[in-house]
Amino acid sequence: MENFEDSTIWTEKYRPKKFEEVVGQDDIIKRVHSLTRTMNIPHFLFAGPAGTGKSTLALIVVKELFGNTWKENYLELNASDERGIDVIRQKVKDFARTKAIGKVPFKVIFLDEADALTKEAQQALRRTMENFTNTCRFIMSANYSSKIIDPIQSRCVIFRFKLLEKKDIEKRVRVIAEKERLQIDDKTIESLYESSEGDCRRVINLLQASSSISPNITVELLNTLISNAKPADIKVVLEYALSGDFIKAKEKLLDVMLRDSISGTDIIKSIQKETWNLQIDNELKVKLTEKTGEIEFRLVEGSDEFIQLEALLASFVLAGRGVMK
Amino acid sequence: MTSLPFIEKYRANNLNQIKGQDSAIAEARMFLKMFPKKKALIINGPAGNGKTSIVLALAKENDMELFELNASDLRNRASLEAVLKPASLQNSLFKKSKIILMDEADGITGTDRGGVPELIALIEKTKFPIIITANDIWDKKFSLLRQKCQIINLRELNENIVLDIITEVVKKECKKITPENLVLIANKCKGDIRAALNDLESVLNLGEEMRIENIDEREKDIGIFEALKKIFQMPLDKKTLEVFDDVDMEIDEIMLWMEENIPSEYYGKPLAKAYDSLSKADLFKGRIYRQQYWRFLVYQNFFLSAGISASTKLKNKEFKKYNRPTRILKIWMANQKNAKKKSLILKYARFNHMSVKKAMKEYFLLPLIINEKMKKTLDLDDNEIDYLQDKRGALILSSGLNKFRV
């Protein structure tokens, strides 16, 4: 039996609407809240891992500022989706040209994943920020503040979001479980927390996905769901390669790349990260990482990303013969 | 002696001198005898096996005038009619009959430009036999033409006949050449007597010291299979570097063939080395594109051929059936499949204030999260809903999630 609450997406439904509802970032909330109360915010830079509340906080700020007219005064841009800084500039220009509605004299632009912009694009953005400073405030989010150029950092008040702790996640899960009439025990919450690595969005999505199967959420259900639904990632590709099965490794790699349209540069990034997590000898890790670096160089210089990645897999096959069964 | 090239000097004067095509000659004679039962004859076959010689000798034997046409004549209807009216509708000046020869019909463009229809119209009107020669009359563009004509297929000349012919020529030229070299020439021409005579002439002129290495092997399309075989299974030598010269393909496509087939020939260390070479070839390809410095092509070609060949000395000799590259097809199919998914993710991402990239990471849970009732919330269309329901059903069935349901 599905109740009417099922007709929406929980990550939106349970997105905190007020400062008090945000979990785990107490200091930040306090400071942002008091800055917002003055009705004149500076530019913000929210830095921190995924699913810790950056976009949520930005939304709370604009709702607090503009009340019912927040939609007219708020522009959301994703740096990783908009193609190039020119598109962003144009959108910012169009948006900033008209005056804000209501008593607040500026509009707010939320630029998500600002660290996805190149250094050059960020330089251009800095000019845009200056040009529209009378009519616009920027809230930027980034996973790493170090990837944002200094001139932009110096124009912003920076807040560093922490990874959510277990108790924060638990608090949120309890609220949802009560409202949605779910049964969930401590052990399951713990496992939920671990499999999501502190990403609240992932936690809530896992919760909703599980609840579509049964309102009785158990560790078993959760594990079955994750192991079956979660697409095989790059780790599987590397394990095939290290066990000596080149053909399977390359097929899996192409699968992964095509399924989620992942670029070669993103793949090689995760290869480089995953290599360090593999259950293999440290000396071998060093060797493989050296190879990975060489191939990443060629991938940048060359023309066919897949050929480069295949070459890397072939050298993994060679280096790893026998280390994985 | 005149300085005519061998191919003209030793062209057959009569049908008896044409070797190795006896049944074809009989058929051609019959065609003339029966004319106008069939008005046109097609002589089809590879280059240099005597098509034109047969027509010339046939005309001579029957004391007929030869009227030659080419493809560009056909397109110019006015001038064609001006020439052909007297030629095809009236008897010729000296009461000689005529053969109209349309040589090398392969040059005619398809129906769009009018070449083939013009030829067909001409066949219907003509009072004289028309003979058409072609290398590949089975091309689609000739399908209508084929119905109007009698067709003779000429085979490739076999090596012995070529050898006979060139031995005869050497004798007539009063020159000397070693039998080994004669055999080499006959062997290399692959049934093309024109090529054999040209080679012979150059060897005789330059002296035998220059010898046979200087005769380029005819650029027959030995094809990508041969090239792959040469690289993977034969020892590395000078020829390895030129292995792609005979492949009628862009180098980009050749790269894909190599990529696809390396794992079927190499294992372990040679596999890694071969891919390393392929990777280097690609590196230079990238540099060519970026810097427009085309000399890098030399290195791209080197790593692609010699580099991969040098990956091992212990070559596999077993026959391998090489595969066509599959990656492009897979990419295409994935794009078709991903179109629905992409529009879905875009809607989900907008609704949830997140980037497509982030939404992609949550995608694996969406079939369970988004149900029929959320259609409106996300503004989904029926296609997208169907897609999600399919995914959801498949996931629940295949994963044993069913046992948790209440």
- CB nearest to B271's CB, from A201, A229, A317: A317
pLDDT average, residue stretch A24-41 = 90
Nearest by CB to residue B286, choosing from A250, A254, A303, is A303
Tell me whether A230 touches chain B (CB under 8 Å).
yes
What's the N-to-C CA distance of chain A in angstroms?
A: 45
- Is residue A233's pLDDT more than 70? yes
Q: How many CB atoms lie within 10 A of CB B252?
A: 10
| HSE-CB for B132 with a 13 A CA cutoff | 27
State the smallest CA–CA distance between residue B357 and chain A in angstroms.
Answer: 7
CB atoms within 10 A of CB B158: 12
Is A254 within 8 Å of chain B by CB? yes
For residue A2, the model assigns a pLDDT of: 41
Taking a C-beta distance cutoff of 8 angstroms, is the pair B359, B298 a contact? Answer: no
- A49 vs B: CB within 8 A: no
Query: A303 vs B274: CB contact, 8 Å cut-off?
Result: no
pLDDT for B222: 52
Q: pLDDT, tens digit, for every residue of A149-199?
A: 988 998 899 999 999 999 999 999 999 999 999 999 999 999 999 888 889
Residue with tokens 């970032």: A25
CB contact under 8 A, A220 and B368: no
Q: Do B268 and A318 touch (CB under 8 A)?
A: yes
Distance CA A216, CA B25 (A): 89
Which of A32-41 are b and which e, b meaning 16 or more Cβ less than 10 Å from the residue's Cβ? bbeebeeeeb
Instruction: Determine the pLDDT at residue A312.
Output: 96
* CB proximity A81 to B under 8 Å: yes
- The minimal CB distance from B279 to the residues A261, A308, A317 is found for A308
Q: What is the 3-state secondary structure (H, E, C) of chain B?
A: CCCCCHHHHCCCCCHHHCCCCHHHHHHHHHHHHHCCCCCEEEEECCCCCCHHHHHHHHHHHCCCEEEEECHHHHHCHHHHHHHHHHHHHCCCCCCCCEEEEECCHHHCCCHHHCHHHHHHHHHHHCCCCEEEEECCCCCHHHHHHHHHEEEEECCCCCHHHHHHHHHHHHHHHCCCCCHHHHHHHHHHCCCCHHHHHHHHHHHHHHCCCCCHHHCCCCCCCCHHHHHHHHHHHCCCCHHHHHCCCCCCCCHHHHHHHHHHHHHHHCCHHHHHHHHHHHHHHHHHHHHHHHHCCHHHHHHHHHHHHHHHHCCCCCCCCCCCCCCCCCHHHHHHHHHHHHHHHHHHHHHHHHHCCCCHHHHHHHHHHHHHHCCHHHHHHHCCCHHHHHHHHHHHHHHHHHHCHHHHCC
- Decide: B135 and B52 in contact? Cβ < 8 Å: no
Structure tokens of B179?
A: 């039998």
Q: How far apart are CA A185 and CA A116, in angstroms?
A: 39
Q: Count of residues for chain A?
A: 325
φ, ψ at B351 (rounded to 5°) = -60, -40
Question: Using CB atoms within 10 A of its CB, is residue B389 exposed (0-12), middle (13-18) or buried (19+)?
Answer: middle
Structure tokens at A139: 């809230």
Handedness of CA B69, B74, B76, B78 (dihedral sign): positive
Q: Shortest Cα distance from B254 to chain A (angstroms)?
A: 13
Q: Ramachandran region of residue B108, left (φ > 0), alpha (ψ -120 to 50) or beta?
A: beta
- Cβ within 8 Å, pair A308-B370: no
How far is the alpha carbon of B366 from chain A, nearest alpha carbon, in Å? 8
Continuous segment of H or E residues that includes residue A268? helix A264-277
Calculate how close chain A gets to B315, using CA atoms only, in Å: 18
**Cα gap B267→B255, rounded to integer Å:** 19
Going from the C-alpha of A228 to that of each of A231, B284, B368, B399, the distances in angstroms are: 8, 42, 12, 6
CB-CB neighbors (< 8 A) of A213 in chain B:
368, 396, 401, 404-405
Residue A214, chain B, CB below 8 Å: the answer is: yes
What are the chain B neighbours of A245 within 8 Å (beta carbons)?
none
Contact A219, A191 (CB under 8 A): yes
Q: Is A170 an interface residue toward B (CB < 8 Å)?
A: no
> For residue A216, which residues of chain B lie inside 8 Å, CB to CB?
404, 406
Residues A287, B141: Cα–Cα separation, whole Å: 59
pLDDT bucket at A3, cuts 50 / 70 / 90 = very low
- Asked whether B119 and B110 are in contact (CB, 8 A), the reply is no
Cβ contacts of B363 on chain A, cutoff 8 Å: 260
Reading the block at residue B94, the tokens are 């000296």
The residue behind tokens 């599980």 is A210
Could A229 and B395 be called an inter-chain contact, meaning their C-beta atoms sit closer than 8 Å?
yes
Which of B277, B354, B360, B385 to probe the A interface (max A CBs under 10 A)? Answer: B354
* Best B258, B296, B355 residue to mutate vs chain A (most A CBs within 10 Å): B355
**CB within 8 A of B382, min separation 6: which ones?**
none
What is the pLDDT at residue B221? 40
The pLDDT, as a whole number, for residue B278 is 97
Q: How far apart are CA B228 and CA B255, in angstroms?
A: 11
Report the length, in residues, of chain B.
Answer: 406
Cis bond leading into A231, ω under 30°? no
Beta carbons of A314 and B363 less than 8 Å apart: no
Distance, CA of A124 to CA of B253 (rounded, Å): 40
Contacts of B216 (CB under 8 A, 6+ apart): none
Please check whether residue B282 touches A, CB under 8 A: yes
Work out the minimum CA distance from A270 to partner chain B, whole angstroms: 14
3-state secondary structure of A140: strand
Sign of the alpha-carbon dihedral angle for A197, A202, A204, A210: negative
**A79 CA: distance to closest CA in chain B (Å):** 8
Distance CA B116, CA B40 (A): 13
pLDDT digits (tens, 9 = 90+) for A84-138: 777 788 888 888 888 777 788 899 999 998 988 888 888 888 888 888 888 889 9
Q: Which residue does chain A place closest to B354, by CA atoms?
A: A78
What's residue A277's pLDDT?
85
Pairing of strands B65-69, B98-102: parallel
Measure the CA–CA gap between B244 and B255, rounded to whole angstroms.
11
Q: Do B282 and A303 touch (CB under 8 A)?
A: yes
Of residues B193, B232, B234, B239, the one with CA closest to residue B213: B239
Tokens describing residue B55: 């027509």
C-beta of residue B279 within 8 angstroms of C-beta of residue A296? no
From chain A, the residues in CB contact with B297 under 8 A are: none
pLDDT beneath 70: ranges in chain B? 1-2, 70-96, 109-114, 207-222, 406
Say whether residue B394 is in contact with chain A using an 8 A CB cutoff: no
Residue A216: other Cβ atoms inside 10 A = 16
Average pLDDT of chain A? 88
Residue of B nearest to A313 (CA): B272
* Pairing status of strand B40-44 against strand B130-134: parallel
pLDDT digits (tens, 9 = 90+) for A122-131: 888 888 888 8
Q: In this complex, is the C-beta atom of B369 within 8 Å of any C-beta atom belonging to chain A?
A: yes
Q: Residue B282 is nearest to which of A2, A11, A304, comparing CB atoms? A: A304
Report the gap between the CA of B321 and the closest CA in chain A (Å). Answer: 17
Judged by CB atoms closer than 8 Å, whether chains meet at A311 and B351 is answered as no
Question: CA-CA distance, A60 to A323, in Å (whole number)?
Answer: 51
CA distances to A167, A202, B23, B275 from B144, in Å: 82, 66, 26, 49
CB contact under 8 A, B353 and A215: no
- A/B interface, count of CB pairs below 8 Å: 175
Q: Which of A11, A205, A200 is nearest to B363 (CA)?
A: A205
Task: Work out the angle at residue B153's Cα, subtended by the Cα atoms of residues B225 and B35, and round it to the nearest 5 degrees.
Answer: 160
Substitution target in B255, B292, B312, B362 with the highest count of A β-carbons within 10 Å is B362
Q: Give the C-alpha separation, B46 to B157, whole Å.
A: 9
Report yes or no: B251 and A279 within 8 Å, Cβ to Cβ. Answer: no
